């Protein structure tokens, strides 16, 4: 396989110092392959947003290495570093907070275009900005380009955010909960635009979301990485992770999601957690951090050693999983059963 | 805790013990307070010595003229009175001053020969604390009530009028209000006999809990307190208004209405208590400002408090007294801050937790 | 499919809340915003009714009008709300200030979106439970404490720990459950839930859904819940009403709405929701919701509707009964029936844990 476009090697990140340090990511290994659609899925506090920020260079890791096209980004200098930062762009969750309210849409697009030399003058910038707006489906562009963010709807603003991310002709777009704040029907059309751009522009997309159904739909050809308390617990092809989930956490998540189908959702089998309390990041349980809640907890095994991502023997799934009973025995036994 | 969350090992026992002590709320606060006081004392000490004219030289000159002493004799006398070594460098003087300070010795006054600065402060400070404290208390309570009221009726005529009035109050410095009151009520209308209202109480009265004495104290303090109230009221009103407005938009206020609580209960416990919280932090800042501002106000009303004492010391170049007063101001601001913190944390349970950690 | 059986068993059709032709308008600079338009529905005892629709469809305004908590700029311009208890009816919109204060929470509790800030941060939970009881004349301390602890247990909270806790000491999910407990403190007949699980994590959301189902089972209250989350409606509702531009444009049993939708907007919503099981294509509804100050003539949905005809552009369709309480407001339900073929024929496997 070719070199991943972005790669995490044992990446850790904590906030704060000394005793008060909060480990948000711990020794994460993750690769983003060129042109793939990778979903990072997990609940709040799992570290998915921090992962997105580190991937796009907005935040340095406190441990481990981040590789861009095989090179450690902390060793990149000058133009090489600039190339990395331009190549990886992020689209934030909140289209109300991420656009400067005092700038017109044209200003928002013009500054990065001129600054990074993608347009040489005002006229070129205008042409390029119109092209970008058309690309993200904000047509007629002449109506939009002179407006200010508050004159646009949430969905339109999010399209502007995407257009802004595209100004530097990136290779990777990190979309952090990019559609969670807009209405259902608009959500789909924005994501479809993103998918279309992926094909036409040759983009790699890292899609961060808490919505597994959405992840499944859009990353059907891609991969999903499920995160829990600062670690990846299961990563694999979307059809494996959503269709044949292996890790107890993934199984629990999938079983907990209501479905927009009355019969199906009523009949759905539920996996019950042993505890509804999410451990605090500053007082993580020993061993596998999911063990106090896991329906398949094996005392004396799961609470000793922190599991690493490995393949599951004899499984129908190609996913790699961080779960000792699974990776060592290939099977799970219900707790106390 | 045996997860691989840190790359380094656990901290050595000793540093863990030390960091726990330092991070305990009381110790941390005390250290911070001492550091602040030390910084102010040092700053004012060197600032005073940077000013043109050496206070000892001034006094030596005064002695030479008055008592026909030679320069050497005068210097010797001056030095013996102020425990001052003229040959010592500024840094040595500083160390000596700090040493005295640690022992609680603020030195002797230069102009009132033989008087301990500590005694002077003890004589003047209570009057200032009384006036400033009373003034701030009145304006705080009044400002919060008015601010909350106009927030409830925001964008009404009442709100517009009161907000405008409050902005004007806040925009004009307190010494201007002092002058205005003096000129209008004291001189032109003649409502107050300002000539009689010099000092903190009428001369000839013996201090004590007698109606005559208390009435005298109140009469003398009335105008300075009025100025302190006017000078700070505007900002309380405007701050409380904006604080209340944002609390009124909080979910818990809406939920309280949906819960069918009485409007009175919502206004006091749900809106008022939460809206007042940020104002307590401002209270500490204001205490410092007002005590600093008392220098001019007390001089204006010839009120014999610590401010007027400082003004007097400056004009007489009584540098030991000045140092003493600066120290007192620094300490009172620090203490006020700690008190405001404690008050705040007793009102807001979210802060208590942090203190415990 | 159109029966009135629910997972909890048969529901007696005893009305508790009857809403008749209610309209709400906001005063805005450009004119009146007709946020709710001529809405009628009946809520029965023990029933869960879901109001679904996009943001701005008037769901929340409608709910606020029911407990008279509209902002000052909004007025109920017409209509009636009847609340029935033990056979006696009350006109909610005619209650005095004092009566409506007593009505709120003890007869009809509303749990707002965003439980994170629903509790006063400076009061212990116990105090917030007891002052709620006191405001409704139930000042007996021992009773309040007993009831509170009982309800904490019902919502799966550690009663002793939570009773004396301050709100910030609880996690988001715990606060949401505590709020549900507070909601039923006075044993109301109706509980309105506004986006009860939005912004909560999946597992927390699951816990809330389960707790709610159990509470409703035990206490027998009726639920009106407002959501844009169709999956939640599918799981929790007995009946569903779709709202668009301030109007109910379709209503029926949960099975009617999900399996046999009759309005193009309902169909559009169903087609735009990703599903865990199944792999059907997602199609978004083109355009955006109309301006409520000057809405389009005729059917308000016609500018976004694939079946719009001349008639739709000029004449607003009435909410018509298509049998067994399945109502829809559309001139072209026959075309929707055609178009909905294949909506569920994806033959996908249910994901099981």
Lowest mean per-residue pLDDT among A119-133, A172-186, A272-286, B161-175: A172-186
pLDDT at B347: 82
Interface of B with C (CB under 8 A): 250-252, 254-262, 265, 269-270, 273-274, 277, 347-350, 353
As to burial, measured by CB atoms within 10 angstroms (0-12 exposed, 13-18 middle, 19+ buried), residue B167 is middle
Tell me the CB-side half-sphere exposure of residue B322, using CA atoms within 13 A.
21
Going by pLDDT thresholds of 50, 70 and 90, the confidence category of residue C81 is: very high
Same-domain status, A307 and A211: no
Same-domain status, A150 and A281: no
Per-residue pLDDT tens digits for C141-183: 999 999 999 999 999 999 999 999 999 999 888 898 999 999 9
Same-domain status, A35 and A109: yes
- Collect all residues with Cβ–Cβ distance below 8 Å to B95 and sequence separation of at least 6: none
Q: Does A258 touch chain C (CB under 8 A)?
A: yes
Same-domain status, A208 and A260: no
pLDDT at A170: 95
Residue A237: inside a domain = no
Name which residue leads in pLDDT, A20 or C87.
C87
Percent of chain C with pLDDT over 70: 93
* Cis-peptide, bond into residue A140, ω within 30° of zero: yes
Cβ contacts of C230-233, under 8 Å, gap ≥ 24: C230/A184, C230/A260, C230/C52, C230/C258, C230/C269, C230/C270, C230/C273, C231/A213, C231/A257, C231/A258, C231/A259, C231/A260, C231/A265, C231/C273, C232/A258, C232/C50, C232/C196, C232/C197, C233/A260, C233/C50, C233/C52
CB–CB of C305/C312 below 8 Å?
Answer: yes
Residue A194: inside a domain = yes
Per-residue pLDDT tens digits for A229-264: 999 999 999 999 999 999 999 999 999 999 999 998
Residue A48: inside a domain = yes
pLDDT at B88: 67
d(CA B220, CA B199): 7
Lowest mean per-residue pLDDT among B9-23, C167-181, C210-224, C249-263: B9-23
d(CA A57, CA A70): 15
Please provide the size of chain A in residues. 337
- Checking if the pLDDT of B188 tops 90, the result is no
Q: In 10 A of CB C37, how many CB atoms? A: 23
Same-domain status, A221 and A248: no
- Collect all residues with Cβ–Cβ distance below 8 Å to B127 and sequence separation of at least 6: B200, B221, B303, B304, B305, B306
Q: In 10 A of CB C278, how many CB atoms? A: 22
DSSP code, position A3: P
Same-domain status, A205 and A262: no
CB–CB of B318/B110 below 8 Å?
Answer: yes
Q: Which two tokens stand for residue C211?
A: 């707790």
Same-domain status, A95 and A205: yes
Contact list in C for residue B274 (CB cut-off 8 A) is 120-122
- Checking if the pLDDT of B15 tops 60, the result is no
Residue A34 maps to which CATH number? 3.40.50.300
CB–CB of B148/B272 below 8 Å?
Answer: yes
Nearest chain C residue to B274 by CA: give it: C122
d(CA B310, CA B294): 10
Q: Which two tokens stand for residue C329?
A: 């407001």
Nearest chain B residue to C103 by CA: give it: B260
CB–CB of A335/A294 below 8 Å?
Answer: yes
- Checking if the pLDDT of C106 tops 80, the result is yes
* Domains, chain C, ordered by start: 8-237 (3.40.50.300), 247-339 (no CATH)
Q: Which two tokens stand for residue A218?
A: 């859009």
> What are the extents of the domains in chain B?
23-102, 118-351
Q: Is C71 helix (H, G, I), strand (E, B) or coil?
A: coil
Q: Do A23 and B6 touch (CB under 8 A)?
A: yes
Q: Does A187 touch chain C (CB under 8 A)?
A: yes
How many structural domains is chain A composed of? 2
Same-domain status, A90 and A118: yes
Same-domain status, A221 and A298: no
CB–CB of C252/C231 below 8 Å?
Answer: no
Q: Does A212 touch chain C (CB under 8 A)?
A: yes
pLDDT at C291: 87
Residue A249: inside a domain = yes
CB–CB of C181/C151 below 8 Å?
Answer: yes
Q: Does A93 touch chain C (CB under 8 A)?
A: no
Cβ contacts of B4-11, under 8 Å, gap ≥ 24: B4/A26, B4/A27, B4/A306, B5/A14, B5/A23, B5/A26, B5/A284, B6/A21, B6/A23, B7/A12, B7/A63, B11/A18, B11/A19
| Strand C74-85 versus strand C15-28 pairing type | antiparallel
Q: Is the ipTM of this complex over 0.95?
A: no
CB–CB of C261/C330 below 8 Å?
Answer: no
Sheet holding C74-85, edge to edge: C31-44, C15-28, C74-85, C88-91
Name which residue leads in pLDDT, B288 or C298.
C298
Domain span at A324: 244-329
d(CA C261, CA C278): 19
Nearest chain B residue to C124 by CA: give it: B349
d(CA A85, CA C306): 44
| Helix, strand, coil distribution of chain C in percent, nearest 5 | 35, 25, 40
Q: Which residues pair with C110 in a beta bridge?
A: C192
| For range C55-84, the mean pLDDT | 92
Tell me the CB-side half-sphere exposure of residue B208, using CA atoms within 13 A.
5
Chains that touch A (3 or more CB pairs under 8 A): B, C
Residue A238: inside a domain = no
Same-domain status, A32 and A121: yes
Q: Which residues pair with C241 in a beta bridge?
A: C51, C251
C-alpha distance from residue A201 to each of A116, A171, B228 (Å): 19, 8, 68
| Strand C15-28 versus strand C190-194 pairing type | unpaired
| For range C268-287, the mean pLDDT | 82
Contact list in B for residue C119 (CB cut-off 8 A) is 252, 255
pLDDT at C322: 93
C-alpha distance from residue B8 to each of A14, A29, C75 (Å): 13, 20, 64
pLDDT at B22: 58
- Checking if the pLDDT of A8 tops 50, the result is yes
Same-domain status, A157 and A36: yes
Q: Which two tokens stand for residue A264?
A: 């199906």
Lowest mean per-residue pLDDT among A46-60, B310-324, C202-216, C223-237: B310-324
pLDDT at B272: 93
Q: Do C282 and A184 touch (CB under 8 A)?
A: no
Compare CB distances from A286 to B2, B6, B7 and report the shortest one's residue.
B2
Same-domain status, A194 and A319: no
Lowest mean per-residue pLDDT among A67-81, B279-293, C79-93, C155-169: B279-293
CB–CB of A86/A95 below 8 Å?
Answer: no
- Checking if the pLDDT of C344 tops 80, the result is no
Name which residue leads in pLDDT, B170 or B194.
B170
Contact list in C for residue B250 (CB cut-off 8 A) is 117
Going by pLDDT thresholds of 50, 70 and 90, the confidence category of residue B356 is: very low
Going by pLDDT thresholds of 50, 70 and 90, the confidence category of residue A1 is: low
Residue with tokens 């190339």: A83
DSSP code, position B310: H
d(CA B331, CA B335): 6
Q: Do C67 and B347 touch (CB under 8 A)?
A: no
Per-residue pLDDT tens digits for B24-78: 777 888 888 899 889 988 998 888 777 666 667 777 777 787 777 788 887 777 7
Tell me the CB-side half-sphere exposure of residue A56, using CA atoms within 13 A.
25
Name which residue leads in pLDDT, C114 or B118.
B118
Q: Is the domain covering B118-351 a CATH 1.10.3720.10 domain?
A: yes
Q: Do A306 and B3 touch (CB under 8 A)?
A: yes
How large is the greatest C-alpha to C-alpha distance in chain B, in angstroms?
87
Residue A1: inside a domain = no
pLDDT at C4: 44
pLDDT at C351: 32
Residue A115: inside a domain = yes
Q: Which two tokens stand for residue B168?
A: 């004007």
pLDDT at B349: 84
pLDDT at C272: 87
Q: Is C269 helix (H, G, I), strand (E, B) or coil?
A: helix
Closest to C212 (Cα-Cα) out of C229, C228, C192: C192
**Where is A94: in which H helix or E strand?**
none
Residue A302: inside a domain = yes
């Amino acid at each position: 396989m070719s070199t991943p476009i972005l790669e995490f090697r044992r990446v850790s990140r904590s906030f704060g110092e000394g005793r008060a340090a909060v480990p948000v990511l711990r020794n994460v290994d993750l690769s983003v392959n060129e042109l793939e659609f990778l979903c990072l899925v997990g609940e709040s506090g799992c570290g998915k947003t921090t992962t997105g920020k580190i991937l796009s260079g907005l935040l340095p890791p406190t441990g481990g290495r981040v590789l861009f096209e095989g090179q450690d980004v902390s060793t990149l200098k000058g133009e090489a570093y600039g190339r990395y930062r331009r190549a990886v762009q992020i689209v934030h969750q909140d289209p109300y907070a991420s656009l400067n309210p005092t700038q017109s849409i044209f200003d928002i697009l013009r500054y990065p275009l001129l600054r990074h030399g993608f347009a040489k003058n005002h006229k070129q910038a205008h042409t390029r900005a119109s092209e970008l707006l058309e690309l993200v489906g904000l047509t007629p562009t002449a109506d939009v380009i002179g407006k200010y963010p508050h004159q646009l709807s949430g969905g339109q603003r999010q399209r502007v955010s995407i257009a802004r991310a595209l100004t530097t002709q990136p290779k990777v777009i990190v979309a952090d909960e990019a559609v969670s704040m807009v209405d259902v029907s608009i959500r789909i059309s924005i994501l479809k635009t993103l998918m279309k751009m992926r094909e036409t522009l040759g983009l790699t997309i890292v899609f961060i979301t808490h919505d597994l159904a959405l992840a499944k739909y859009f990353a059907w050809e891609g991969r999903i990485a499920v995160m829990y308390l600062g670690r990846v617990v299961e990563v694999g092809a979307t059809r494996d992770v959503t269709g044949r989930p292996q890790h107890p956490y993934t199984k629990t998540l999938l079983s907990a999601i209501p479905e927009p189908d009355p019969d199906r959702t009523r009949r759905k089998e539920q996996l019950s957690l042993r505890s509804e309390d999410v451990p605090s990041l500053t007082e993580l349980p020993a061993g596998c951090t999911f063990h106090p809640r896991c329906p398949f907890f094996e005392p004396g095994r799961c609470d000793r050693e922190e599991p690493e991502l490995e393949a599951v023997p004899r499984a129908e799934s190609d996913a790699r999983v961080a779960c000792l009973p699974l990776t060592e025995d290939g099977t799970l036994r219900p707790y106390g059963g | 805790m045996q997860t691989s969350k840190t790359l380094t090992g656990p901290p050595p026992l000793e540093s863990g013990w030390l960091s726990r002590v330092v991070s305990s709320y009381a110790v941390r606060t005390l250290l911070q307070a001492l550091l602040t006081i030390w910084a102010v004392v040092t700053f004012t000490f060197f600032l005073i010595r940077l000013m043109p004219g050496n206070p000892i030289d001034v006094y030596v000159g005064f002695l030479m003229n008055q008592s026909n002493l030679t320069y050497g004799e005068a210097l010797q006398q001056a030095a013996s009175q102020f425990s001052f070594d003229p040959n010592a460098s500024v840094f040595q003087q500083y160390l000596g001053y700090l040493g005295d300070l640690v022992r609680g010795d603020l030195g002797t006054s230069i102009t009132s020969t033989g008087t301990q600065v500590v005694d002077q402060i003890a004589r003047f400070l209570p009057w200032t604390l009384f006036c400033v404290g009373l003034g701030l208390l009145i304006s705080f309570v009044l400002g919060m009530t008015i601010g909350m009221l106009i927030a409830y009726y925001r964008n009404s005529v009442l709100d517009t009028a009161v907000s405008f009035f409050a902005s004007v109050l806040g925009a004009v410095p307190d010494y201007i209000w002092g002058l205005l009151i003096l000129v209008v009520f004291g001189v032109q209308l003649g409502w107050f006999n300002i000539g009689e209202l010099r000092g903190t109480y009428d001369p000839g009265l013996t201090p004590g809990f007698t109606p005559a004495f208390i009435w005298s104290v109140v009469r003398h303090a009335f105008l300075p307190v009025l100025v302190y109230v006017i000078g700070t009221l505007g900002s309380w009103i405007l701050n409380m208004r904006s604080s209340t407005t944002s609390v009124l938009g909080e979910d818990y206020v809406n939920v309280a209405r949906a819960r069918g609580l009485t409007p009175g209960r919502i206004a006091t416990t749900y809106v008022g208590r939460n809206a007042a919280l940020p104002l307590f932090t401002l209270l500490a800042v204001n205490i410092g400002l007002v005590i600093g501002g008392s220098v001019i106000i007390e001089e204006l009303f010839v009120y014999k408090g610590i401010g007027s004492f400082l003004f007097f010391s400056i004009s007489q170049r009584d540098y030991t007294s000045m140092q003493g007063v600066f120290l007192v101001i620094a300490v009172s601001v620090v203490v006020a801050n700690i008190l405001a913190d404690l008050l705040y944390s007793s009102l807001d349970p979210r802060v208590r937790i942090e203190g415990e950690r | 499919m159109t029966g009135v059986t629910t997972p909890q068993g048969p529901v007696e059709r005893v009305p508790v809340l009857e809403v008749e032709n209610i309209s709400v308008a906001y005063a805005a600079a450009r004119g009146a915003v007709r946020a709710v338009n001529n809405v009628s529905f009946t809520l029965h005892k023990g029933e869960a009714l879901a109001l679904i629709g996009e943001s701005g469809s008037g769901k929340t305004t409608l709910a606020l009008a029911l407990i008279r908590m509209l902002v000052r700029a909004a007025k109920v311009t017409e209509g009636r709300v009847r609340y029935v208890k033990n056979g006696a009816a009350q006109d909610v919109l005619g209650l005095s200030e004092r009566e409506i204060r007593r009505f709120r929470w003890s007869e009809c509790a509303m749990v707002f979106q965003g439980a994170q800030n629903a509790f006063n941060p400076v009061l212990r939970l116990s105090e917030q439970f007891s002052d709620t009881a006191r405001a409704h004349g139930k000042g007996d301390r021992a009773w309040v404490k007993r009831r509170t602890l009982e309800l904490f247990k019902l919502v799966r909270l550690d009663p002793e720990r939570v009773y004396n806790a301050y709100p910030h000491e609880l996690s988001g999910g715990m606060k949401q459950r505590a709020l549900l407990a507070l909601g039923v403190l006075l044993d109301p007949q109706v509980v309105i839930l506004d986006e009860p699980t939005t912004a909560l994590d999946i597992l927390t959301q699951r816990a809330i859904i389960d707790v709610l189902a159990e509470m409703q089972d035990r206490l027998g209250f009726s639920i009106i819940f407002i959501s844009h989350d169709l999956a939640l409606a599918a799981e929790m509702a007995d009946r569903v009403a779709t709202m668009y531009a301030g109007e109910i444009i379709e209503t029926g049993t949960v099975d009617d709405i999900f399996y046999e939708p009759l309005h193009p907007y309902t169909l559009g919503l169903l087609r735009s929701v990703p599903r865990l099981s199944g792999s059907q294509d997602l199609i978004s509804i083109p355009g955006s919701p109309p301006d409520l100050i000057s809405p389009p003539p005729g059917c308000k949905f016609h500018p976004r509707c694939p079946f719009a005809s001349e008639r739709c552009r000029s004449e607003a369709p009435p909410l018509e009964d298509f049998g067994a309480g399945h109502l829809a407001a559309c001139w072209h339900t026959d075309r929707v029936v055609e178009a909905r073929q294949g909506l569920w024929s994806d033959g996908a496997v249910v994901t099981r844990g």
